Amino acid sequence: MEATLQRSSSMAMSVMLLLLAVLLYHGSVVEAAYQRPESGVSNHHPVIGVLTLPEPRCLQYGDQVIATSNARWLQAGGARVVPIFYDSTPEELDFVLNRVNGVFWTGGNVNFNPHTEAKTGTVYLRTTEYILRHAIRENSRGNFYPLWGTCLGFERMLQLVAEDDEAKIVEKFDAENYPINLGFTDPAWQSRLFKSMSDELFTEVASPLGRLAFNNHGLGIHPNSFQNNTLLNEHFSVLSVDLDRNGKPFVSTVEGKSWPFYATQWHPEKAPWEWNPAWQIERNDLAIQLSNYFGRFFVNECKYNKNQFESLELEDRMLLHNWMSIPNGVIHRINPKIRISFTEIYCIDKNKVESPAIAGTQPAKKLKRFPLL
């Protein structure tokens, strides 16, 4: 009985702390949301660029990865996926970014301390900064250019917009393998990201007792750090704030005020696609609905972008399906010392598949693009 009372008291205290954190944003004025182009949808078959991550554990299969769940999340929403190599040159990046309809920065393990000696981390930092500048520039020119960041991508996007070169706004949290729900702020109710969500799903996601939002991060951004940064307040609305296991609040969902940028500290892509038994992922019907809702939302945003490939042949040569999705068990059987948390990963050796983004070539033959029925 005493243990039960202690747990109830602890839960009540956590809920109170969460409410206090959320109150930081209550009553705040929300800027006019970025408007989609009046001309409507430009592309019914969007192609989204997904940034790869350095990965030394792919053995002979490659040296960078995209977790298959990240690709499936977008594909289930109606998009095709092109890898953006994290170690691309500016010319290679321009080639891809000028053709895809939006960009997704996934979660992962990259040290983004600007003074790190890890060469791959430094290259990732440089590439994300280049992509962000490109997306901002395109939006300023009137080409609706969506960007999504999850977990690592969330932290990096906010760090960049905050112009926080030393990564001071990013601090430690105890939120690995941690399923919780979202503590909505007032702006969430009328946000682009949440306003189309069904009442049933919104209510369930908002319940303090739910577990639909899977967190798996040891770093994050405190609401105070966000609030104290002028640039973050100018460019983003905080849509949810949550508590880690120790009751420490962290920003968990944001959307751009003047840009079609979205970021979640938690993982909307995992519920339908990741099956690691160690991960405490909720898989009920509403959890799957939540994942699909966000995937479809971002894909639909990308349909308003004007970019397109010169031909279906060029598009096909750049798509992710030119590489293999490898089950984690295959890698483990080859080398039992290697364990991959993801169910499957695309292991990418960009030198083994000719990519137009690297070669800078374009096929001469153009195939007719047929309208969808």
Position 20 pLDDT exceeds 70? no
CA distance linking residue 159 with residue 175, whole number of Å: 19
Angle at 85 between CA 84 and CA 86, to 5 degrees: 110
Asked if residue 83 lies in contact with residue 323, where contact means CB atoms within 8 angstroms, the answer is yes
The model's confidence at residue 11, banded by pLDDT at 50, 70 and 90, is very low
Residue 369 lies in a domain: no
Residue 47 lies in a domain: yes
Residue 54 lies in a domain: yes
Q: What mean pLDDT do residues 226-235 have?
A: 97
If one counts every other C-beta atom within 10 angstroms of the C-beta of residue 41, the result is: 13
The model's confidence at residue 25, banded by pLDDT at 50, 70 and 90, is very low
pLDDT at position 365 is: 37
CA distance linking residue 207 with residue 1, whole number of Å: 25
Residue 6 lies in a domain: no
pLDDT at position 172 is: 95
Q: What mean pLDDT do residues 357-366 have?
A: 48
pLDDT at position 370 is: 31
Asked if residue 245 lies in contact with residue 174, where contact means CB atoms within 8 angstroms, the answer is yes
As to burial, measured by CB atoms within 10 angstroms (0-12 exposed, 13-18 middle, 19+ buried), residue 34 is middle
Q: Residue 143's domain spans which residues? A: 14-358
User: Which CATH number goes with the domain that contains 63?
Assistant: 3.40.50.880
Instruction: Return the half-sphere exposure (C-beta side, CA atoms, 13 A cut-off) of residue 126.
Output: 15
Position 180 pLDDT exceeds 80? yes
pLDDT at position 248 is: 98
Position 278 pLDDT exceeds 60? yes
pLDDT at position 285 is: 95
Domain count within the chain: 1
Lowest mean pLDDT among 49-53, 256-260, 368-372: 368-372
Asked if residue 294 lies in contact with residue 241, where contact means CB atoms within 8 angstroms, the answer is no
Asked if residue 208 lies in contact with residue 260, where contact means CB atoms within 8 angstroms, the answer is no
pLDDT at position 213 is: 96
Asked if residue 159 lies in contact with residue 112, where contact means CB atoms within 8 angstroms, the answer is yes
Residue 365 lies in a domain: no
Return the exposure string of 297-308: e unless at least 16 CB atoms fall within 10 Å of the residue's CB, then b: bbbbbbbbbebb
Mean residue pLDDT across the chain: 85
Position 371 pLDDT exceeds 50? no
Position 293 pLDDT exceeds 50? yes
Lowest mean pLDDT among 64-68, 237-241, 361-365: 361-365
Position 249 pLDDT exceeds 90? yes
Catalytic residues: 151, 267
Residue 8 lies in a domain: no
The model's confidence at residue 27, banded by pLDDT at 50, 70 and 90, is very low
Residue partners of 23: CB distance under 8 A and separation at least 6: none
Position 33 pLDDT exceeds 80? no
Position 273 pLDDT exceeds 60? yes
Q: What percent of the chain has pLDDT over 70?
A: 83
pLDDT at position 56 is: 77
Asked if residue 326 lies in contact with residue 344, where contact means CB atoms within 8 angstroms, the answer is yes
As to burial, measured by CB atoms within 10 angstroms (0-12 exposed, 13-18 middle, 19+ buried), residue 209 is exposed
pLDDT at position 364 is: 36
Task: Tell me which of 352 and 143 has the higher pLDDT.
Answer: 143
pLDDT at position 368 is: 35
Residue partners of 294: CB distance under 8 A and separation at least 6: 193, 264, 268
pLDDT at position 357 is: 66
